[in-house]
């Protein structure tokens, strides 16, 4: 394991300590628990609050999207492990302005259980909570069983849309509704070339040969849909987009936003080589790229690989995508 860290047991807390030293005007903890982070100015008056959370190891997911035009609070677990219901509840109380709280997170067992418990605790305090699960990973469950799918890079689009709607003063039900609409238009699939190592475990999360790749692997190393020889960038783009097209609502004349996300160790040069083919395929299909995001938005530490996410847009979603956002890890300038 080759990492620039101190004691592996302190990986998450020291990362958060660094974060708080770097962005003291933007983020703060709830009480003295480093794992409960909120916007410095929370609760934001007359605004629906948005909370997310999950395991560490995916920066900028999750905590990187807390800030203006995006999220209000985040609950941080150990690497690839869910935070607790009590922590989620604490963040919920801290960010609620009276207008209610949207729980917006990826569909993983531990997170679902704990956020559900937290929402019950919050409701006993008369805090309104709505939950929207992100289930964008096409590879994680077949068509017809979309509700079983994992949430991956599509979280970024979901945060952006929900955050913009909340910032515009919408009610909780409206924020939830437009986020669900966006999610019905979002599909992601990825490819992994190498594993990552959980600091406290000290060995790679899986093994993969030097000449292999795995299409559809999850961001914690969950099995994908095909392991085979490493293909070319163009072939990988074709394979992934074919699966996304077969599954999702993308047809000629549509406008989409494309998120080309690096998983950690894959250089930006390679993302642009893939984007070249993605743009060509979408153009051939008569689908217009309205906006693109190319970079590391949802990672697995030092895993090599990338994912492609499409968000089909209508006028409302375009406006929300283009609304201001500013967090320590993300701003509107990332959306080109």
Just list the catalytic residues. Answer: 58, 220
Cis ω before 150 (30° cut-off from 0): no
Point out which residues bind a second copy (CB under 8 A): 2-6, 11-12, 14-19, 21-23, 26, 56-57, 59-60, 64, 191, 193-194, 210-211, 230, 232-234, 236, 264-276, 279-280, 292, 294, 296, 299, 301-302, 304-306, 326, 328-329, 331-334, 336
User: In angstroms, rounded to a whole number, what is the distance separating the alpha carbons of residues 126 and 151?
Assistant: 29
Residue 160: HSE in the Cβ half-sphere, 13 Å Cα cutoff: 31
The tokens for 138 are 């096409």
* Residue number with CB closer to a second copy (133 or 167): 167
What b-and-e string marks burial along 112-141, b requiring 16 or more CB atoms within 10 Å of the CB? bebbeebbebbeeeebbbbbbbbbbbbbbe
The alpha carbon of 289 is separated from its chain's Cα centroid by a whole number of angstroms, namely: 21
Q: At a CB cut-off of 8 Å and minimum separation 6, what does 280 contact?
A: none
Helices (H), strands (E): how many in the chain? 8, 12
* Residue number with CB closer to a second copy (16 or 132): 16
Q: Please return the burial class of 100, using the count of CB atoms within 10 Å of its CB with bins 0-12, 13-18 and 19+.
A: buried
Judge whether 189 and 243 are in contact, CB under 8 Å. yes
Which of 146, 143, 134 is CA-nearest to residue 65?
A: 134
* Residue number with CB closer to a second copy (121 or 259): 259
Q: Least Å distance between CB 171 and a second copy?
A: 29
**Helix or strand (DSSP H, E) at 156:** helix 154-167
Q: Helices 172-184 and 154-167 sit at what angle, rounded to 10 degrees?
A: 150
Residue 55: HSE in the Cβ half-sphere, 13 Å Cα cutoff: 18
Q: List, edge to edge, every strand of the sheet that includes 73-79.
A: 27-30, 33-39, 73-79, 49-56, 101-106, 129-134
Judge whether 260 and 271 are in contact, CB under 8 Å. yes
User: In angstroms, rounded to a whole number, what is the distance separating the alpha carbons of residues 33 and 75?
Assistant: 10
């Amino acid at each position: 394991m080759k990492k620039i860290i101190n004691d592996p047991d302190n990986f998450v807390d020291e990362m958060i300590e660094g974060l708080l030293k770097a962005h003291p005007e933007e983020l703060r903890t709830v009480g003295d628990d480093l794992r409960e982070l909120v916007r410095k100015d929370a609760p934001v008056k007359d605004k629906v609050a948005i909370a997310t959370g999950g395991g560490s190891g995916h920066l900028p997911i999750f905590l990187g999207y807390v800030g203006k035009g995006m999220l209000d609070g985040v609950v941080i677990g150990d690497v690839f492990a869910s935070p607790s219901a009590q922590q989620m509840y604490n963040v919920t109380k801290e960010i609620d302005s009276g207008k209610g709280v949207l729980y917006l997170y990826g569909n993983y067992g531990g997170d679902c259980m704990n956020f559900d418990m937290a929402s019950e605790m919050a409701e006993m305090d008369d805090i309104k909570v709505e939950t929207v699960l992100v289930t964008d990973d096409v590879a994680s469950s077949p068509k017809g069983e979309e509700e079983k799918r994992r949430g991956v890079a599509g979280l970024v689009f979901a945060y952006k849309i929900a955050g913009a709607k909340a910032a515009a003063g919408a009610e909780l039900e409206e924020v939830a509704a437009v986020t669900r609409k966006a999610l019905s238009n979002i599909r992601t699939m990825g490819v992994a070339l190498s594993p990552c190592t959980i600091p406290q475990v000290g060995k790679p999360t899986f093994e993969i040969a030097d000449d292999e790749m795995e299409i559809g692997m999850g961001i914690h190393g969950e099995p994908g849909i095909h392991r085979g020889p490493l293909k070319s960038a163009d072939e990988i783009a074709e394979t992934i987009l074919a699966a996304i097209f077969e599954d999702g609502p993308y047809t000629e004349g549509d406008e989409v936003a494309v998120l080309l996300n690096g998983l950690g160790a894959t250089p930006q040069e390679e993302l642009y080589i893939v984007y070249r083919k993605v743009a060509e395929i979408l153009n051939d299909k008569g689908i217009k790229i309205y906006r693109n995001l190319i970079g590391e938005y949802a990672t697995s530490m030092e895993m090599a690989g990338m994912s492609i996410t499409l968000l089909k847009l209508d006028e409302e979603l375009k406006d929300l995508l283009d609304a201001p956002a500013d967090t320590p890890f993300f701003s509107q300038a990332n959306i080109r």
